[in-house]
Structure 1
Amino acid sequence: MKFNWFNTKKRNQNQPYFWQKYSEKFEKKTPENIDEIKFVVFDTEATGFDFEKDRILSIGAVRVQNREIKISENFEVYLEQERFNPETVKIHGIIQNEKFEKVEELEALKLFLAYIENSVLVAHHAGFDLKMVNKALKRHNLPKLKNKFLDTAYLYKKTRIATNFIDPNKMYSLDDIAEDYNIEAIDRHTATGDAFITALIFMKLLGKIKSKGKLPLRTY
């Protein structure tokens, strides 16, 4: 099938300017060398687990490049809410009237897209976070995220599958892996805290992969 670059460009021009700027970043191919790839490790906290009814409460992220966590370049945004689920407060601690500076959902998406650009996204059990963001994009008539991604839960299993110290059928939580790698779970169940813990886990995983090895990058 022949790729029609002109039609793709035309479709992008029908989208808002911020989406066009985001899309343009993908004209450059992702480097093959791990040390040259720009990663963004991120996490979302949400009102629940229903992709149709529930909404994102906050997004936290941190950059990783050349095997370094760029702590000073972290990202955090809290979203205004109409939906409130008291059950999930027990997990993330974000209450309806918490005095965070909050933005509307579309503004949060604009900020997040400007931050991630064409980076490879990294998350723990990434399917949930990616789907929450994609559902939010869909509510504003925008396409899905274009970024390639990695799942630390999958990578963890992949790096240990040759040993007898892993259950291939188990869903390993962030706490499970953090404990295995002796990583202190600080600010657990906040988007920024979980993103940072995931970044530390990701650094450990990168240490087990050769610098020129290929990562199992996927698109959602």
Structure 2
Amino acid sequence: MSWNWFKKALQEKPKFWETYLSHFVGKERSKRYVIFDCESTGLHVKKDRILSIGAVAILDDKIEVNDYFEVFVVQELFKPESVPIHGIMRNGNEDKIVEAEAIIRFLDYIKDATLVGHHVNFDIELINEALGRLHLGKLKNEFMDTDAMYQKLKHLHFEEHRSLDELCDIYKIRKSDRHTASGDSFITALLFLKLKKKLEI
């Protein structure tokens, strides 16, 4: 067995990752937005873990109700103190998959869409940490933050943050299924459309 063959084998990436990267090469970027949210065991991106990912797509300024995504992740790390926030039990009734499979399905769902979230950097970093545990690169998608959009609209300083609850109250958005990944992604999608229209983007 030659060293060059061994080195090449180490450099080879799994098919799902190559498929994901192919969406960013040699073609016009998608006009699809994916609004997503992660529920996690806590707020430390390196130490905490993803519990669920929820997402919904927007195309032509309309929420595509049949184009949605939701997975629950097997809890290798369990923090009972976080359960009252997200409501996900370690041995709950949800069908759970391992983190690697959740990431594979998420990449297949998002493709080259622009990712949108409220304080989205945290969710992006959670996904990137999970990709790192698979020895892969980081997300290539462009992304937008609804909090940053509101700051721009109101000419606020970048440190003047607003919570999702506050903006829902301001724009009279019903907070159904709050603190679930799928519920928060749908709420954020409604907020995104309102801000996008006001910003004329």
TM-score, reference length from structure 2: 0.91
Report the equivalent of 1:99.
93
Cα deviation 1:83-125 (Å, max 9, x = unaligned): 1111111111111111110111110011000000000000100
Unaligned 5+ residue runs, structure 1? Answer: 1-9, 32-36, 214-220
1:172 aligns with 2:170: no
1:19 aligns with 2:17: yes
Give the aligned length: 192
Q: Find the partner of 2:111 among 106, 109, 117.
A: 117
TM-score, reference length from structure 1: 0.83
Q: Find the partner of 1:75 among 50, 54, 69.
A: 69
Deviation at 1:208, TM superposition (A): 1.0
Distance 1:50 1:68 in 2: 34
- Contact kept, 8 Å, 2:117 with 2:145, in 1: the verdict is yes
Report the equivalent of 1:185.
175
Distance 1:169 1:44 in 2: 23
Report the equivalent of 2:79.
85
Deviation at 1:71, TM superposition (A): 1.1
1:30 aligns with 2:29: yes
Deviation at 1:73, TM superposition (A): 1.0
Report the equivalent of 1:130.
124
Deviation at 1:169, TM superposition (A): 3.6
- Contact kept, 8 Å, 2:151 with 2:160, in 1: the verdict is no
SS at match of 2:54: strand
State the AA in 2 paired with 1:30. Answer: R
SS at match of 1:49: coil
SS at match of 1:128: helix
Deviation at 1:160, TM superposition (A): 1.5
Distance 1:101 1:64 in 2: 26
Q: Percent identity?
A: 46
Distance 2:55 2:83 in 1: 21
